[in-house]
C-alpha cells in the first residue's frame, strides 16, 4: 500500500475514532439520564434528579457533535472510498435503511427529551427518554451489522449475473452477537467511568463547598458502580468476539493476538498485540481505581484527595480504552476494507491524491473540531446557564 | 413497487430536507441580525426575538439533521451508482463541507449554553456570525453538488471508465448562479415565515407594539431579499434555458418551437428569438409537462410575497407603522414562503427527469439493482416521516407562537 493511500486512511481513522467515542457516550448518557430520572422519582431523591438533569445537558452537548461526526465519517468514506460505499449500499440495504429510521427517531428524541424536562407529565417524559435509549442501542446494532459484514462477508455471493444477497444470513453473522454485546456493554461502562471522572474533578474543585459535596459524591458512586458492573461482562463478550474471529476472520484474529492460524492466500494485517496489551493494562487500571473509589465514596467520611485523583483519571482512561479497542478493530481489517473481498486500494477514489500538506490541513481541522467539542462539553458543565 | 415508489419516497425526504436545511440557514441569518440589533439598540424586544429564533434554530436543526441523515443513507442504499459518481468527482465541496458541519453544530450548542451569560456581547454575536458563515458556506457547497446534476462538467465516460476534472465538476456552469439564488431564498423564506408569525402575535392582542417592532424589521429584510431573488431568479432561468432546454420548455409550457414574445425577450433580450419546444425532444427525454402549472403557481405565490413586502415596507418607511389589514395579510406568509421555496426545488429536481445526472446518468441506471422497496415498506416509511412532520408542526407552534 502506497503512502498516498495511507493518508486518507489516517484522516478517516481520526474522524472515525472521534465519532465512535462520542457515539458511545451518547448511547450511555441516553440510558443513564432516563434511568436516573425514573429512580429519583421512585425514591424521592432530589440529588439523583439533579444528576439526571445534568447528564441530559451533557447528552445534548455530545449528541449534536456525534451526529455531525457520523455524517463526516460517511462523507469521508464516500469521497475516499466510493467503491466501498457503492458495495455496502448494494449489499447492506436493510441494516442501512433500519439504521436511517432509528437515527431519525433518535435525533429527534434527544432535543425533545431535553427541552420538555419539567414541562410534560413525568410518564410522558420518561417514555420519550426510554424511546431515546432504545433507539440509541438499535442504531448501534445496525452499524454493528455493517461492521460484522466487513469482518466476514456472510450472506453475499458474487455470481456472473452480479451480487446475490441473503439478508437473513447478513443478520446472522457469527461475529455480530459478541461484537454487539461487547459494544453495548462498553458504551455503558465507558459512560459510567466518564461520569465518575467528571464528578470527581468537580468534587476536587469545590472541596470547600458543602452544598455540592453530597450530590457530586453520589454521582461519582453511580458512575463507578455502573462502570465496574458493565466492565466485567464486557471482558467476557470481548473474549467471545475473539473466539468468533478465530473461527471466521483469521487475519483479524492474528492482528489482535499475534497468533497465526491456518490462512490461505490472504494479505496479513499489522500485528497489534502491543496495542491490545495497552488496552488490557488500561482495563486493569479502571478496575483497580474503580474499586478504590467505591470504597472511599461509600458514606460521608470526607474527601480523600489521593483517591479522588485516581477516580478523576477514570474519565480519560475509559475514553482511551474505548478508542484503542475501536482502533484495533478497524486496523485489524487492513489491507482490506471488507475482509477478504475488497482491499483498501481497490476501493479508493482514483482522482484523489492526498499529499502531506493536505493531510496536515485535514488533521489540523479535525483537531480544531475535537478542541471545540471539549470546549462545548466544558461549557455544558457550568451550572445555571439555561 | 417500482421506480415510482422509490422516486416518491426520495422526493419526499429530499423536499423535507431542503425545507429544514433552508430554514436553518435563514435562522442563523436572523439570529445574527437580531442579536446585533439588540446590542446596538439595547431593546429587550430584540433579545426576546433572538431567543425565540435560537430555539427555532434548534428545532429546525434537529429536523434537518434527521432528514439529512435519512437522505444520506437513502442515497447510499437506493442510489449507489449516483453516490459513487458524486463521491468520486465532487470531492472538493463534499470534503470542505465535512469540516463545516460539525463546527456549525458545536457552535449552535455553545451559542445556546452561553445565551443567558453572554447575550448581546461581542463574543456571542461572533458565535452567531460563525454559525451564519458555516451554514451559508455549507448550503453553497451542497448547492454546487446539486447543480452538478443539472449542468455536469469535467466528467467523461471513456470505455466504461470515468475521467474527471474535479475543479471543473465543482465549478460547473450552473453552480454560481444557483448559489446566488438559493442563499437569499433561504434568508427570504425564513424571514417571511417569521414576519407572518410576528404579525399573528401582534394581532392576537396584549403586546401589539412589541411584536410589531420585530415585524417591521422582518418585513423590510424580506422585501429587500425578494428583490434580490427576482434578479437572481432571472439569471437562473437563463441558465436553465441554455443548459437544460427541455426542462425550460416544460416549465414554460412551450410545445412548438418558435418565438414566445415576452419569454424570448426575458431570456435572450430579443422578442423574436425562437425557443425550443418540447416536440423537438424525443418523448423519452421530456420532463413531466405538469411542471408548467407548478412553476406558475410558484410565481403567483412569489408575486403575493413581493406585493405584500412592497406595501408593508412602504408603510414602515413612510409612516413608521403597519395597518391591521397588512398585518392580517401577512399571516399566510408562514405557509406561502416555505411553499414557494419547496415548489422551486420541486421544479428544479423533477425538471431534470428522466436524467439523474443530466445527459450522463438516467434514473434507472443510478438506482440499486439488488433491492426493490415493497409498497408496504414505502407506506411504513411515509407514515413515520409524516408523523415526524406532524410532530414538527406541533413543536414549531409551541416554540414560535406560544414561546
Distance from CA of A271 to the nearest CA of B (A): 32
Distance from CA of B80 to the nearest CA of A (A): 5
**pTM for this predicted structure:** 0.85
One DSSP character per residue, B115-162 reads HHHHTTSHHHHHHHHHHHHHHHHHHHHHHHHHHHHHS--SEEEETTEE
Residue B246 exposure: Cα atoms within 13 Å on the Cβ side: 21
* Phi and psi at residue A170, to the nearest 5°: -60, -40
**Cα(B89)–Cα(B373) distance, integer angstroms:** 28
Average pLDDT estimate for A249-266: 77
Position B363 confidence tier, pLDDT thresholds 50, 70, 90: confident
Angle, alpha carbons A16-A21-A25 (nearest 5°) = 145
Q: Which residues of B touch A103 (CB under 8 A)?
A: 66, 69-70, 73
C-alpha cell at A382: 457550568
| Residue with the larger pLDDT of the pair B225 and A293 | B225
Q: Which residues of B touch A379 (CB under 8 A)?
A: 110, 113-114
Q: Are B227 and B139 in contact (CB under 8 A)?
A: no
**Cα(A319)–Cα(A24) distance, integer angstroms:** 9
**Cα(B77)–Cα(A86) distance, integer angstroms:** 8
Q: Are B75 and B83 in contact (CB under 8 A)?
A: yes
CB contact under 8 Å between A71 and B72, yes or no, is yes
Q: What is the reported pLDDT for A385?
A: 39
Distance from CA of A100 to the nearest CA of B (A): 5
Q: Residue B54 region, left (φ>0) first, then alpha (ψ -120 to 50), else beta?
A: alpha
Run of H or E including A165? strand A162-165
CB contact under 8 Å between B73 and A96, yes or no, is yes
Please identify which residue in the block is written with the cell numbers 402575535: B201
Please identify which residue in the block is written with the cell numbers 416509511: B381
**Cα(A121)–Cα(A37) distance, integer angstroms:** 13
Q: Which residues of A touch B164 (CB under 8 A)?
A: 351
Work out the burial of residue B389: count CB atoms within 10 Å of its CB; fewer than 13 is exposed, 13-18 middle, 19 or more buried.
middle
Position B65 confidence tier, pLDDT thresholds 50, 70, 90: confident
Residues in chain A: 386
**A191, A222, A217, A218: which is closest to A206 by C-alpha?**
A217
What three-state secondary structure class fits B174? coil
Q: Which residues of A touch B106 (CB under 8 A)?
A: 64-65, 68, 369, 372-373, 376
CB contact under 8 Å between A75 and B97, yes or no, is yes
Residue A10 has pLDDT above 60, yes or no: yes
Residue A343 pairs in a beta bridge with A336
Longest dimension (CA), chain B: 72
Neighbours of B285 (CB within 10 A): 13
Q: Which residues of B touch A96 (CB under 8 A)?
A: 73, 76-77
ipTM, two decimals, is: 0.79
Pick the most confident of A338-352, B37-51, B203-217. Answer: B37-51
C-alpha cell at B105: 453544530
Please report the number of interchain residue pairs, chain A to chain B, with beta-carbon separation below 8 angstroms: 181
Please identify which residue in the block is written with the cell numbers 463526516: A72
What three-state secondary structure class fits B361? strand
Average pLDDT estimate for B145-168: 87
B161-192 tens-digit pLDDT: 778 888 999 999 999 999 999 999 999 999 99
CB contact under 8 Å between B395 and A112, yes or no, is yes
Beta strand A162-165 pairing with A336-338: unpaired
Q: Residue B84 region, left (φ>0) first, then alpha (ψ -120 to 50), else beta?
A: alpha
Q: What is the reported pLDDT for A281?
A: 93
C-alpha cell at B5: 415508489
CB contact under 8 Å between B76 and A74, yes or no, is yes
Among B6, B87, B92, B157, pick the best mutation site for testing chain A contact (most A Cβ within 10 A): B87
| Residue with the larger pLDDT of the pair A3 and A261 | A261
C-alpha cell at B300: 403567483
Q: Are A255 and A270 in contact (CB under 8 A)?
A: yes
Mean pLDDT over each residue of chain A, to the nearest integer:
84
Among A7, A87, A89, pick the best mutation site for testing chain B contact (most B Cβ within 10 A): A89
Amino acid at each position: 500500500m502506497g503512502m498516498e493511500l495511507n493518508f486518507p486512511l489516517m484522516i478517516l481513522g481520526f474522524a472515525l475514532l472521534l465519532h465512535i467515542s462520542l457515539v458511545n457516550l451518547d448511547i450511555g448518557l441516553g440510558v443513564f439520564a432516563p434511568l436516573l430520572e425514573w429512580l429519583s422519582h421512585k425514591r424521592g431523591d432530589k440529588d439523583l434528579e439533579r444528576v439526571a438533569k445534568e447528564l441530559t445537558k451533557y447528552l445534548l452537548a455530545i449528541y449534536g457533535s456525534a451526529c455531525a461526526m457520523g455524517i463526516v465519517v460517511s462523507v469521508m468514506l464516500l469521497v475516499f472510498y466510493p467503491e466501498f460505499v457503492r458495495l455496502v449500499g448494494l449489499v447492506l440495504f436493510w441494516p442501512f435503511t433500519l439504521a436511517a429510521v432509528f437515527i431519525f427517531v433518535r435525533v429527534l428524541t434527544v432535543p425533545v427529551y431535553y427541552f420538555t424536562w419539567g414541562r410534560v407529565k413525568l410518564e410522558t417524559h420518561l417514555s420519550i427518554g426510554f424511546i431515546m435509549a432504545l433507539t440509541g442501542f438499535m442504531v448501534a446494532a445496525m452499524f454493528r451489522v455493517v461492521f460484522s459484514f466487513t469482518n466476514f462477508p456472510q450472506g453475499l455471493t458474487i455470481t456472473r449475473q452480479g451480487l446475490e444477497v441473503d439478508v437473513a444470513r447478513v443478520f446472522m453473522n457469527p461475529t455480530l452477537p459478541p461484537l454487539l454485546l461487547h459494544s453495548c456493554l462498553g458504551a455503558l461502562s465507558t459512560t459510567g467511568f466518564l461520569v465518575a471522572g467528571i464528578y470527581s474533578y468537580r468534587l476536587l474543585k469545590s472541596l470547600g463547598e458543602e452544598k455540592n459535596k453530597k450530590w457530586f459524591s453520589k454521582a461519582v458512586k453511580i458512575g463507578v458502580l455502573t462502570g465496574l458492573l458493565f466492565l466485567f461482562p464486557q471482558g467476557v463478550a470481548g473474549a467471545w468476539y475473539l473466539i468468533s474471529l478465530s473461527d471466521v476472520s483469521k487475519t483479524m484474529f492474528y492482528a489482535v493476538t499475534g497468533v497465526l492460524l491456518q490462512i490461505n492466500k490472504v494479505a496479513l494485517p499489522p500485528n497489534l498485540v502491543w496495542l491490545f496489551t495497552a488496552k488490557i493494562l488500561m482495563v486493569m487500571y479502571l478496575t483497580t481505581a474503580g474499586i478504590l473509589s467505591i470504597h472511599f465514596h461509600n458514606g460521608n467520611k470526607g474527601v480523600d484527595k489521593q483517591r479522588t485523583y485516581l477516580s478523576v483519571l477514570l474519565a480519560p482512561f475509559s475514553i482511551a480504552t474505548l478508542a484503542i479497542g475501536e482502533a484495533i478493530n478497524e486496523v485489524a481489517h487492513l489491507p482490506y476494507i471488507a475482509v477478504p473481498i475488497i482491499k483498501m486500494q481497490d476501493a479508493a477514489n482514483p482522482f484523489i491524491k492526498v499529499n502531506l500538506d493536505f493531510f496536515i490541513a485535514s488533521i489540523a481541522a479535525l483537531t480544531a473540531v475535537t478542541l471545540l467539542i471539549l470546549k462545548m462539553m466544558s461549557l455544558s458543565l457550568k451550572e445555571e446557564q439555561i | 413497487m417500482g421506480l415510482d415508489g422509490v422516486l416518491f419516497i426520495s422526493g419526499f425526504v429530499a423536499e423535507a430536507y431542503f425545507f429544514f436545511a433552508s430554514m436553518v440557514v435563514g435562522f442563523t441569518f436572523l439570529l445574527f441580525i437580531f442579536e446585533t440589533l439588540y446590542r446596538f439598540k439595547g431593546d429587550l424586544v430584540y433579545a426576546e426575538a433572538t431567543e425565540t429564533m435560537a430555539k427555532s434554530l434548534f428545532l429546525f436543526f434537529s429536523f434537518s439533521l434527521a432528514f439529512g441523515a435519512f437522505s444520506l443513507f437513502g442515497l447510499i442504499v437506493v442510489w449507489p451508482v449516483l453516490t459513487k459518481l458524486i463521491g468520486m468527482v465532487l470531492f472538493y465541496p463534499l470534503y470542505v463541507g465535512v469540516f463545516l458541519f460539525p463546527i456549525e453544530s458545536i457552535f449552535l450548542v455553545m451559542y445556546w449554553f452561553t445565551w443567558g451569560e453572554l447575550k448581546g456581547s461581542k463574543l456571542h454575536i461572533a458565535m452567531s456570525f460563525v454559525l451564519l458563515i458555516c451554514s451559508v458556506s455549507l448550503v453553497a457547497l451542497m448547492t454546487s453538488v446539486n447543480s452538478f446534476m443539472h449542468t455536469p462538467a469535467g466528467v467523461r465516460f471513456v470505455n466504461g471508465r470515468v475521467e474527471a476534472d474535479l475543479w471543473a465538476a465543482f465549478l460547473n456552469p450552473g453552480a454560481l448562479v444557483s448559489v446566488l439564488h438559493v442563499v437569499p431564498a433561504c434568508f427570504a423564506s425564513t424571514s417571511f415565515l417569521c414576519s407572518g408569525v410576528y404579525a399573528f402575535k401582534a394581532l392576537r392582542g396584549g403586546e401589539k407594539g412589541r411584536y410589531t417592532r420585530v415585524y417591521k424589521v422582518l418585513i423590510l429584510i424580506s422585501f429587500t431579499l425578494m428583490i434580490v431573488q427576482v434578479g437572481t431568479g432571472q439569471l437562473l432561468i437563463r441558465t436553465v434555458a441554455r443548459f437544460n432546454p427541455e426542462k425550460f420548455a416544460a416549465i414554460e409550457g412551450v410545445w412548438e418551437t418558435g418565438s414566445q414574445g415576452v419569454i424570448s425577450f426575458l431570456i435572450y433580450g430579443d422578442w423574436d428569438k425562437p425557443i425550443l419546444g418540447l416536440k423537438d425532444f424525443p418523448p423519452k427525454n421530456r420532463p413531466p409537462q405538469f411542471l408548467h402549472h407548478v412553476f406558475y403557481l410558484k410565481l403567483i405565490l412569489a408575486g403575493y410575497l413581493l406585493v405584500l413586502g412592497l406595501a408593508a415596507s412602504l408603510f414602515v418607511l413612510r409612516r413608521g407603522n403597519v395597518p391591521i389589514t397588512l398585518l392580517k395579510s401577512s399571516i399566510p406568509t408562514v405557509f406561502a414562503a416555505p411553499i414557494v421555496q419547496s415548489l422551486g426545488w420541486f421544479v428544479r429536481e423533477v425538471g431534470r427527469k428522466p436524467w439523474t445526472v443530466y445527459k450522463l446518468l438516467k434514473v434507472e441506471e443510478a438506482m440499486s439493482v439488488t433491492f426493490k422497496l415493497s409498497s408496504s415498506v414505502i407506506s411504513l416509511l411515509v407514515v413515520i416521516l409524516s408523523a415526524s412532520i406532524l410532530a414538527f408542526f406541533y413543536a414549531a407552534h409551541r416554540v414560535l407562537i406560544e414561546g
